[in-house]
Copies of this chain bind each other. A is one copy, B any other.
Amino acid sequence: MSVKKVFLPEREIPRQWYNIQADMPTPLQPALHPQTQKPVGPDDLLPIFPLNLIEQEVSTARWIDIPEEVLEKLLIWRPTPLQRASALEKYLQTPAKIYFKNEGVSPAGSHKPNTAIPQVYYNKVAGTKRLTTETGAGQWGCALGLGCTLFGLECKVYMVRVSYEQKPYRRLMMKTWGAECIPSPSRETEFGRKMLAKDPQTSGSLGMAIGEAVEEAVTSDDTKYSLGSVLNHVMLHQTIVGLEAQKQLKMVGEYPDVLIGCVGGGSNFAGLSFPFIRDKIHGRELQVVAVESTACPTLTRGPFAYDFGDTAAKTPLLPMFTLGHNFLPRSIHAGGLRYHGMSPLISQLTLDRLIESRAYNQLQAYAAGVLFAQTEGLVCAPETNHAIAAVIEEAKKAKEEGKEKTILFNLSGHGLLDLPGYDAYLNGKLEEYILSEEEIRESLKDLESFPRPMI
C-alpha cells in the first residue's frame, strides 16, 4: 500500500520558527505613522502589543526559538499529519502526486491557534492579564479563546453582530473555553456607542469590531490587543507548518514542484510556503501559488501601495497589495478571504516574483471542495476550497503535459461549522461574481494622498 499519511513523531517537532526577513532579496519597507508618515517605532505600538512581540515583528534573525511552554501547548495537536490525496489523484487520473498538510486537526479546527498560542504566551510573560480581539466568522476569536484558556488569561472577543447572530457555533466554542464574546458594535466602548448612536440597527463590520477591541486595549493597563493575520510575527509563528512539512516530505523522499495555499491576510499560506521559499531564494526550482477569491482579488488586481491595515484607519500604513481600506468585499462564505490588504511579507515576495497569484470564484471553490469531500472524505473550510480549486487545475495540467509533478497544499481548516455554505452551493443558491474595474478604481481613491512605496 502506498503512503497515505506521514506522522512526524513529536520529538521531531521544529524547535525554532523561520523568519523569512533574514533571506528576502528585497527587505521589507517600513510601516509608517499615519500622521508623521515617518517609520513607526516600538513606542507607537506599545499601547497595543507587548514589547516582546514588537521585537519579533521587526526581527531579522533567521531562526527564533519556540519557547518550551509554547511547544507544550502546540503538542496538543501538532505535528499535524501530512496526507496524500490519493483518491482524488485516482479520480482525476493525473500523474501528479497531491499532498496536503492537515491543519484542520487543531482543537479550533484551523491553523489559527499556531499563532494564538505564542501570542498569548508572550503577553503572559509581559504581564498582560487580558487580551481583546475582533472576529468575523469566528475562527480567530476561537483560536485566541483557546490560547487564553490554556495559559489562564482573560479573553474578550468583539464579534461582528451579524455573524454573532447568524453563526452561533463558534461563539459557543469561545464561551466553552471561558472567553467572553460580545456582538459588535457594543455599548462597552466609546467607539461602539458612537456607531450605535449613528445606526442602532447596524449589523456591524470587522472594521468596527477592530475599533472596539483596540480601544479597550489602549484604555486599560493590563489589556493588550491580538491580531490573527497580516503582521510579520503572525507569519513567523505559522512557519511551523512548512517546517514540519519539509521534514515529513523528506521522510517519504519527496520535494514539491508546486506549492499552493489560499490567502486572505496570508497567514496559512505564509506558514506553509516561507520555509520552501527560502529554498527557492537559494536556487531551488519551485512554483508557489497564492490563491484568493475573485470577490477580494488583492494580489491579482490590487496595486502595491501604502494603506491602513484596518477599515477604521487606526493602524500604521503598511506597504502591501491592497484594494483600499474601505473596500467592502461582497459577502461570501469564505469569510477568511475577505481582507482588503495582504501581509507585507507576502506582498514583497510577490513583487520579487517568488510568489505568483491566482483567483477563483466561490462556485469553482465549492465544486472543488465537494469533489474533495466525496473522494478524500474530508470536508474543508470554504477558504481552503479555493486552494483545492488550484490544486485540481494543476493536477489536470500535469495530466495534459504527462508530467509527474508533486503538489503540496495547505488544508487550512475543516468545514464542519461552515456546512450551510455547502448547502447553499448544492442548492444552486450561490453566484459567481466579478468585480468591475470601476468598483476597484473607486475604492482605491482613498490611497491617493498616502506616500508611495518603492516598487
| Interface residues of A, Cβ cutoff 8 Å to B | 1, 3-10, 68, 71-73, 75-77, 83, 87, 105, 107, 109, 146, 149-150, 168-169, 172-173, 175-178, 370, 373-379, 416-417, 419-420, 422-423, 426
Contact B107 A173 (CB under 8 A): no
Contact B3 A107 (CB under 8 A): no
The listed residue with most B CB atoms (<10 A of its CB), out of A7, A173, A377, A422, is A377
Residues of B within 8 A of A105 (CB): 105
Contact B176 A426 (CB under 8 A): yes
Residues of B within 8 A of A175 (CB): 422-423, 426
Residues of B within 8 A of A8 (CB): 7
Contact B377 A107 (CB under 8 A): yes
Query: What 10 additional pairs, Cβ within 8 angstroms, besides A107-B377, A177-B377?
Result: A3-B10, A4-B10, A73-B377, A168-B419, A168-B420, A169-B417, A172-B422, A173-B379, A175-B423, A176-B379
Which one of B7, B149, B370, B379 lies within 8 Å of A7 (CB-CB)? B7
Contact B173 A377 (CB under 8 A): no
Q: How many Å lie between the Cα of A10 and that of B374 in the bound state?
A: 23
Offer 7 A-B interface pairs, CB within 8 angstroms, sorted by A: A76-B377, A76-B378, A149-B373, A150-B377, A168-B419, A169-B416, A172-B423
Contact A149 B377 (CB under 8 A): yes
- Please give me the residue from chain B that is nearest to A416 by CB atom: B416
- Please give me the residue from chain B that is nearest to A417 by CB atom: B416
Known: A4-B76, A76-B377. A419 touches B176 (CB 8 A): yes
- Please give me the residue from chain B that is nearest to A117 by CB atom: B377
Q: How many Å lie between the Cα of A329 and that of B173 in the bound state?
A: 27
Q: How many Å lie between the Cα of A417 and that of B379 in the bound state?
A: 14
The listed residue with most B CB atoms (<10 A of its CB), out of A107, A168, A426, is A107
Which one of B6, B75, B176, B378 lies within 8 Å of A373 (CB-CB)? B176
Residues of B within 8 A of A68 (CB): 1
Q: How many Å lie between the Cα of A90 and that of B169 in the bound state?
A: 29
Known: A416-B109, A419-B176. A10 touches B7 (CB 8 A): yes
Contact B176 A5 (CB under 8 A): no
- Please give me the residue from chain B that is nearest to A149 by CB atom: B374
Contact B377 A146 (CB under 8 A): yes
Q: How many Å lie between the Cα of A97 and that of B175 in the bound state?
A: 28
- Please give me the residue from chain B that is nearest to A87 by CB atom: B150
Contact A5 B417 (CB under 8 A): no
Residues of B within 8 A of A150 (CB): 87, 375, 377
Q: How many Å lie between the Cα of A5 and that of B109 in the bound state?
A: 18
Q: How many Å lie between the Cα of A420 and that of B73 in the bound state?
A: 26
Residues of B within 8 A of A173 (CB): 379, 416, 419
Q: How many Å lie between the Cα of A419 and that of B145 in the bound state?
A: 15
Residues of B within 8 A of A73 (CB): 377
